[in-house]
Amino acid sequence: MPFLGQDWRSPGWRWVKTEDGWKRCEPFSPALEDGSNQLNDISHTVILTGDDEDEEIYSTEDCEFAAKKRKKDHFRNNTDSQCFYREKWIYVHKESTRERHGYCTLGEAFNRLDFSSAIQDIRRFNYVVKLLQLIAKSQLTSLSGAAQKNYFNILDKIVRKVMEDQYNPRLIKDLLQDLSSTLCILIRGVGKSVLVGNINIWICRLETILLWQQQLKNLQMNKQVNNGLTLSDLPLHMLNNILYRFSDGWDIITLGQVTPTLYMLSEDRQLWKKLCQYHFAEKQFCRHLIPSEKGHIDWKLMYFALQKYYPIKEQYGDTLHFCRHCSILFWK
């Protein structure tokens, strides 16, 4: 048969020889064969609707449109609750050529890299959550429709993990707060086509975020019953050494609420001075000196005051890496 099709670059239509001549067939995917047997038996011209007197004639184009719509609905239903790719690395395109059009966008990178498995790794969990928070603040509208769907799928898995493991719920609360604030602003400007998809979808997503926030607010930490050695049984110098390993001031305050001994250690001026010197330069905290009642510098108040003006250093166990020689973005 001659090469015929909608596009000269396409593989062409599939034709079957019958008594009346050659007829065109619409190929179906194996996953849809069971549900589309009715369309396979359709003749080239007529479909009966029920009444013998009234017959409705559908063209071949209508059959093709129905088949394509069924395929699209089948794909959407299968991608509602799963990530699309599980790749460890991607090639970052820097420019467009005749052979390859377009660049490697943020949405493409977010879709193809294996973030679904990264959140299961405790070394990468905080990094992925921080990345989602940065996207929620400024880059949410730059994601494609598929990437936005994948974004909320991964966010759903993160919330489920936190509800099960009670691991770092404060970080997720900050992420959901920034995301809900951004969505409220974007939904008001929906007339400017800033969101991909129907407005009702985004309203449902916003309601889901509010539900997640309520669930995290009502989260109760499980009390572990252990008759062995506990944190309170450790010597003072070991407890003090543990506090000096923290890089977040809120973690120090939270740990200090466990026992009176830890509270006393968490109020140490030298501890907060080291924390300020680690995160901020000397010129920065010299501009915001906060003296205490005794005339000494209140390093604890200084830390939270400087945090409002300057970014703090961030520590992650594992991050995404980029090779400048081969332009590869990859998980280690």
Chain center to CA of 164: 18
Percent helix / strand / coil, the chain, rounded to 5: 55, 10, 40
Q: Which amino acid is at 14?
A: R
The tokens for 220 are 């109760």
Q: Report DSSP state, residue 11.
A: -
Mean pLDDT within 245-273: 90
Residues 6+ apart with CB under 8 A from 271: 240, 243, 244, 252, 265
Higher-confidence position of 85 and 1: 85
| Number of other CB atoms surrounding residue 30 within 10 Å | 6
Domain ranges of the chain: 89-218, 232-267, 271-320
Per-residue model confidence (pLDDT) at position 38: 43
- Report the pLDDT averaged over residues 111-139: 88
Q: Tell me the CB-side half-sphere exposure of residue 276, using CA atoms within 13 A.
A: 27
Confidence band (pLDDT; 50, 70, 90) for 192? low
The pLDDT of residue 181 is above 60: yes
Residue 103 has pLDDT above 80, yes or no: no
Q: How far apart are CA 211 and CA 257, in angstroms?
A: 28
CB 115 within 8 A of CB 154: yes
Q: Please report the pLDDT score of residue 310 as a whole number.
A: 85
DSSP codes, 202-259: HHHHHHHHHHHHHHHHT--PPPP---S--GGGS-HHHHHHHHTT---HHHHHHHHTT-
pLDDT of residue 33 exceeding 70: no
Q: Is residue 107 within 8 Å of residue 136, measured between CB atoms?
A: no
Dump pLDDT digits (tens) for 199-212: 888 888 899 999 99
Residue 205: closest CA among 162, 153, 157: 153
Residue 176 token pair: 């959901």
Distance CA 231, CA 254 (A): 14
Residue 123: pLDDT above 70? Answer: yes
Per-residue DSSP letter, 284: H
The residue ranges of DSSP E strands in the chain, in sequence order, are: 14-18, 21-25, 89-91, 320-323, 328-331
Percent with pLDDT over 70 in the chain: 70
Lookup: tokens for 70: 């069924």
Average pLDDT, the chain: 76
Angle formed by the axes of helices 249-256 and 236-243, to 10°? 150
Q: Which helix (H) or strand (E) holds 266?
A: helix 260-266
> How far is Cα 40 from Cα 44, in angstroms, rounded to an integer?
10
Q: Choose between 14 and 262: higher pLDDT.
A: 262
How far, in Å, are 32, 117, 221 from residue 67 at the CA level? 10, 35, 51
- pLDDT tens per residue across span 135-173: 999 888 888 888 888 899 999 999 999 998 888 888 899
Q: Where is average pLDDT lowest: 3-7, 44-48, 304-308?
A: 44-48
pLDDT computed for residue 271 by the predictor: 93
Report the alpha-carbon angle 317-250-234, nearest 5. Answer: 80
The highest-confidence range among 99-103, 258-262, 284-288, 290-294, by mean pLDDT, is: 258-262
Positive or negative, the CA dihedral 69, 72, 78, 79 is negative
Average pLDDT value for residue range 170-182: 91
288 compared with 257, residue with greater pLDDT = 257
Predicted confidence band of residue 11 (pLDDT cuts 50, 70, 90):
low
